[in-house]
Amino acid sequence: GTINVEPVNSPARRANGAAVVRLRRLDTWSVMRTSFVLALSLAIVMLVAVLTLWTLFTITGVFETVGRNVEDVLGASTNVSAWFSFPRVMGLTVLFGGVQVVLTTAALTLLATIYNVTAGWSGGFEATLSDDR
């Protein structure tokens, strides 16, 4: 399991029906798998969003307008349409998504490991769980 929870006091429930638990350890492997799936989901959402925006901008002529404005300012030698080509935009999106997946997974796994070390010193995170009826 991902969570190692134990009751704080001998009777796990207080008089009002609330249970006090302490989170002492996170399973690092489970945190890594979960963070990978969540980061991958975010990368897919980012890919779909960029694809949608690129299609919308192409249909509405935003890239052509930007290209004409840049050529007016910088001169006719610039090729702005190549900057916003579909393979380039999608390639960069996939690259950024891959980097985001790797960095997010590594960072959250590292944070779980740091939590496990500090929870050993401090006793972990204490929470009171109650049933509001």
Taking only the tens place, the pLDDT of each residue in 91-111 is: 999 999 999 999 999 999 999
Residue 14 in this model has a pLDDT that exceeds 70: no
Q: Are 24 and 4 in contact (CB under 8 A)?
A: yes
Q: Which two tokens stand for residue 57?
A: 């901008």
Strands 19-26 and 125-129: antiparallel
Calculate mean pLDDT across residues 5-32: 74
Q: Which two tokens stand for residue 94?
A: 């996939």
pLDDT at residue number 63: 85
Taking only the tens place, the pLDDT of each residue in 37-89 is: 999 999 999 999 999 999 999 999 888 888 888 888 877 767 777 888 999 99
pTM, two decimals, is 0.74
How many whole angstroms separate alpha carbon 46 and alpha carbon 94? 9
Residue 36: what residue type? F
